[in-house]
Amino acid sequence: MGDEDWEAEIIKPHVSSYVPVFEKDRYSSGANGDTFNRTPASSEIDDGSSRRDHFMRSGFASGRSLGNRDAGESNKRENTSTMGGFGVGKCFGNRGFSNNKFEEGDSSGFWRGYQDGNDSEASGSSRRGGRGSFRGCRGGFGLGSPNSEFEQDEGTQRTSGLFGSRRPALSGTGNGDIYQSRSGSGSRRGGYKGLNEEIITSSGKNSWKSEAEGGESGDTQGPKVTYIPPPPPEDEDSIFAHYQTGINFDKYDTILVEVSGHDAPPAILTFEEANLCQTLNSNIAKAGYTKLTPVQKYSIPIILAGRDLMACAQTGSGKTAAFLLPILAHMMRDGITASRFKELQEPECIIVAPTRELINQIYLEARKFSFGTCVRAVVIYGGTQLGHSIRQIVQGCNVLCATPGRLMDIIGKEKIGLRQVKYLVLDEADRMLDMGFGPEMKKLISCPGMPSKEQRQTLMFSATFPEEIQRLAGDFLKSNYLFVAVGQVGGACRDVQQTILQVGQYSKREKLVEILRNIGDERTMVFVETKKKADFIATFLCQEKISTTSIHGDREQREREQALGDFRCGKCPVLVATSVAARGLDIENVQHVINFDLSSTIDEYVHRIGRTGRCGNIGRAISFFDPESDSHLAQPLVKVLSDAQQDVPAWLEEIAFSTYVPGFSGSTRGNVFASVDTRKNYQGKSTLNTAGFSSSQAPSPVDDESWD
Ligand SMILES: Nc1ncnc2c1ncn2[C@@H]1O[C@H](COP(=O)(O)OP(=O)(O)OP(=O)(O)O)[C@@H](O)[C@H]1O
């Protein structure tokens, strides 16, 4: 059964409810599996699906069942911009989209990086070399184009970026049409997405600038992005609202920490030792922080000492405050001038993160810690009105929190000058440096006015840091940067109880429902591999009377924020998500993560399950392992499980053993077990920058170029 068949199934006209009934035998027939496996394009890129979910939220979640016609009408109301060929009049949102077209574009080997039968989920990720290429199709990734849309998408699309082959095959008209149909603005720029400010050109070096100029200035075709996010709450209680640390918070102290590099300042043990100003201390107290986490103990003095830093610590262990507090302390110490209205703002600090929701969360943290100071934090991200971003900035901006695409757009509009940048923070740094965002970041550091790495302080944080990415990071960091590893680099949080179940793809839905019924109302994130599948599963769960919403890169920003809000407040205790929600999101009371589909890489697995078990709280993660498609993960999974002192099922060990590949850790999916600062692995090799080490650790420094 092809894509069309699958879609035919889901819009079966005889089904009375808006969502079709998925008979088990049909789903199990292999046809659907094929669809998921062979529709990377449609599932990732296509599909108008976002509208459906909205219905689910508003209809199904409340136990209401919409008829097809209702859904179609709602589509019109909700998202006229996507209607042009994208889901007009169809209840499940796929009809208007030409999968064939995409697949044609795709056929030039884009997906071939991944094996037959799996290219499906390629849409989801890196393992499927398709990812990288897909990105390429968006109009010249790596050619200096803005790629502003990147943040729009799942992190997954980028994950593989590092290893995926990039080809421009999809930048042709077909593709343009596709995206144009979504947003009405894709064709001019030869490519992807459709939200005005997020479209990339395929032209040369300065394309990001012209892009930005075009962004919402009226020279683009198609509708403008008009969404203005609601302002954050102003009252102190909301600003400082926080959740309790869990019973395992004190156990953080037992985690081994390794610092590598020259002359690292000693760790601090208490907030008092950091010698922060009174206002900051008061904000820290109001935030409920009484004790430092390990990453904070080590990172805060390093940053206060003015050193560059790459820090790797488990999910949910307080990395955000680890960089925000010392930066704000420096700003206060340096007597920052109160920001005021200016057409060109020159922030002292720029923080970038890969997804909109995450950067917004970081902004809220920055706003919390800078409360009562003259430091003004601003957040800008794609999917919102560009004019709104500009208005926020011109009112004053000391700390700019941004997704990469929107940042480049705003720089192109000359609303942000970079000359005063003293701190550049890459959160989820491994993602920010992979092939998805890496070129954007390189452009950022070579923008006119951006202080050289010697003149600024660059800080990178993540829970995972593959070796390849660590080496790329050398372009951004001073050669004597320090590396802090809290526990095992890339290791899972031990507060998450991990269970791996062997579940074939045709049994997954049944198993999911069984688990969710047992879980009851506890908040649960369900990760799937593709956007299309996110809608499919969310719809299915709603049909099963399980209040569910979804978040993925094809949903409009307003919908994404609404979905997160509904999940946060418990209105919809189940959130079906693609990898767009895998990293960084800090949501209170997420007790369970279910990997309906395992992620393509082990790093992403670690981030996904890290949405639970945060800040010393206990969480549970259940992952469906389908031997047909997930065997490549068996080995790294066994490693991650055993490192986190979890039970390893015998059957998984067997699969891992039978799929053992010597030299696995150096495979194209990256060395997930980079337990150390990568520089150490190259001791004595003059081709790498080993500069941070004492003479006993490494030879004398070499040029930065050696990182290239
Ligand atoms: N010292 C502390 N005391 C109490 N709570 C803290 C402390 N540090 C951080 N937290 C809280 O812990 C939670 C997780 O922090 P944060 O989101 O910074 O984790 P993270 O390490 O960045 O996670 P991820 O790897 O998933 O991005 C947040 O709610 C934060 O407010």
Centre of ligand 1 to C-alpha 317, Å, is 5
Average pLDDT for 589-603: 97
Inter-CA distances, 51 with 57, 247, 538, 545, Å:
10, 40, 12, 19
- AA identity, residue 449: G
66 vs 569, residue with greater confidence: 569
Q: Assign residue 616 a region (left: φ > 0; alpha: ψ between -120 and 50; beta: otherwise).
A: left
- AA identity, residue 442: K
| Residue 167 neighbours by CB distance under 10 Å | 20
Centre of ligand 1 to C-alpha 289, Å, is 10
Could you tell me the residue range of the domain that residue 530 belongs to? Answer: 496-659
Does a structural domain hold residue 481?
Answer: yes
CA angle 586, 587, 590 (to 5 degrees): 120
Using 50, 70 and 90 to split pLDDT, how confident is the model at 570? very high
Per residue in 178-204, pLDDT (tens digit) is 222 233 333 333 222 322 223 222 233
- For a pocket test of ligand 1, which of 495, 586, 603, 609 has the largest count of ligand atoms closer than 8 A to its C-beta? 586
Nearest CA to ligand 1 atom 3: 289
Same domain, 338 and 466: yes
Does a structural domain hold residue 155?
Answer: no
Q: Is the CB of 126 under 6 A from ligand 1?
A: no
Please report the pLDDT score of residue 337 as a whole number.
78
| Residue 687 neighbours by CB distance under 10 Å | 12
Q: To which residue do tokens 């070096």 refer?
A: 205
Listing DSSP states for 317-376 in one string gives S-HHHHHHHHHHHHHHHTTPPPP---SSB--SEEEE-SSHHHHHHHHHHHHHHTTTSS--
Does a structural domain hold residue 319?
Answer: yes
Does a structural domain hold residue 169?
Answer: no
Q: Is the CB of 586 under 6 A from ligand 1?
A: yes
Domain stops at, among 486, 505, 531: 486
**What string of H, E and C letters represents the secondary structure of 449-466?**
CCCCCCCCEEEEEECCCC
Structure tokens at 630: 């997930």
Using 50, 70 and 90 to split pLDDT, how confident is the model at 389? very high
Average pLDDT for 658-673: 50
Q: Which of 527, 536, 499 is nearest to 33 (CA)?
A: 536
For β-strands 496-502 and 548-551, DSSP reports them as unpaired
Using 50, 70 and 90 to split pLDDT, how confident is the model at 327? very high
- For a pocket test of ligand 1, which of 488, 614, 617 has the largest count of ligand atoms closer than 8 A to its C-beta? 614
Does a structural domain hold residue 204?
Answer: no
Q: Is 250 helix (H, G, I), strand (E, B) or coil?
A: helix
Nearest CA to ligand 1 atom 5: 289
Please report the pLDDT score of residue 378 as a whole number.
98
Cβ-contact 353, 401 below 8 angstroms: yes
Domain stops at, among 620, 644, 659: 659
Which DSSP symbol is given to 416? B
Same domain, 315 and 373: yes
Does a structural domain hold residue 629?
Answer: yes
Please report the pLDDT score of residue 224 as a whole number.
81
Same domain, 523 and 467: no
Q: Which residues pair with 577 in a beta bridge?
A: 527, 551
Same domain, 580 and 512: yes
Question: For residue 501, with 0-12 CB atoms within 10 Å meaning exposed, 13-18 middle and 19 or more buried, which class applies?
Answer: middle
Q: Is the CB of 415 under 6 A from ligand 1?
A: no
Q: Is the CB of 590 under 6 A from ligand 1?
A: no
Please report the pLDDT score of residue 707 as a whole number.
19
Same domain, 613 and 534: yes
Per residue in 617-664, pLDDT (tens digit) is 999 999 999 999 999 999 999 999 999 999 999 999 999 999 866 555
Please report the pLDDT score of residue 13 as a whole number.
29
Cα–Cα distance for residue pair 89/74, rounded to 1 Å: 9
Cβ-contact 433, 401 below 8 angstroms: no
Does a structural domain hold residue 179?
Answer: no
Per residue in 206-238, pLDDT (tens digit) is 333 322 223 333 334 556 889 999 999 999 999
Per residue in 468-488, pLDDT (tens digit) is 999 999 999 999 999 999 998
Using 50, 70 and 90 to split pLDDT, how confident is the model at 57? very low
ipTM of the complex: 0.99
Per residue in 390-426, pLDDT (tens digit) is 999 999 999 999 999 999 999 999 999 999 999 999 9
Cβ-contact 126, 113 below 8 angstroms: no
Is the pLDDT at 336 greater than 70, yes or no? yes
Inter-CA distances, 71 with 17, 54, 66, Å:
10, 10, 6
Is the pLDDT at 49 greater than 60, yes or no? no
Is the pLDDT at 345 greater than 60, yes or no? yes
Nearest CA to ligand 1 atom 23: 316
Same domain, 438 and 524: no
Please report the pLDDT score of residue 504 as a whole number.
96
Cα–Cα distance for residue pair 23/610, rounded to 1 Å: 33
Centre of ligand 1 to C-alpha 385, Å, is 30
Cα–Cα distance for residue pair 384/406, rounded to 1 Å: 9
Atom of ligand 1 nearest to the CA of 289: 3
Q: Is the CB of 487 under 6 A from ligand 1?
A: no
Atom of ligand 1 nearest to the CA of 287: 31
Q: To which residue do tokens 């390429």 refer?
A: 136
| Residue 276 neighbours by CB distance under 10 Å | 22
Same domain, 374 and 437: yes
Please report the pLDDT score of residue 704 as a whole number.
22
Please report the pLDDT score of residue 6 as a whole number.
28
Same domain, 504 and 439: no
440 vs 684, residue with greater confidence: 440
Cα–Cα distance for residue pair 363/126, rounded to 1 Å: 28
Centre of ligand 1 to C-alpha 38, Å, is 38
Centre of ligand 1 to C-alpha 663, Å, is 35
Nearest CA to ligand 1 atom 2: 289
Q: Is the CB of 321 under 6 A from ligand 1?
A: yes
Which DSSP symbol is given to 597? S
Same domain, 537 and 428: no
Is the pLDDT at 502 greater than 60, yes or no? yes
Please report the pLDDT score of residue 133 as a whole number.
31
Please report the pLDDT score of residue 338 as a whole number.
74
Centre of ligand 1 to C-alpha 646, Å, is 23
Atom of ligand 1 nearest to the CA of 288: 4
Same domain, 410 and 500: no
Q: Which residues pair with 548 in a beta bridge?
A: 574
Element (H, E) at 500: strand 496-502
End-to-end CA distance of the chain: 46
Q: Which residues pair with 623 in a beta bridge?
A: 500, 595
For helices 207-215 and 404-412, what crossing angle results, to 10°?
80
- Within 8 A by CB and 6+ apart from 602, the residues are 490, 633, 636, 637, 639, 640, 669, 672
Cα–Cα distance for residue pair 447/411, rounded to 1 Å: 9
The chain-wide mean pLDDT, for the chain, equals: 72
Does a structural domain hold residue 160?
Answer: no
Cα–Cα distance for residue pair 106/23, rounded to 1 Å: 31
Please report the pLDDT score of residue 102 as a whole number.
29
Please report the pLDDT score of residue 339 as a whole number.
76
For β-strands 619-625 and 590-595, DSSP reports them as parallel
Please report the pLDDT score of residue 222 as a whole number.
55
| CATH number for the domain harbouring residue 457 | 3.40.50.300
Same domain, 364 and 481: yes
Nearest CA to ligand 1 atom 4: 289
Highest mean pLDDT among 15-29, 48-62, 107-121, 584-598 belongs to 584-598
Centre of ligand 1 to C-alpha 521, Å, is 24
Number of domains forming the structure of the chain: 2
Same domain, 474 and 525: no
Per residue in 292-325, pLDDT (tens digit) is 999 999 999 999 999 999 999 999 999 999 999 9
Domain stops at, among 437, 454, 486: 486
Q: Is the CB of 614 under 6 A from ligand 1?
A: yes
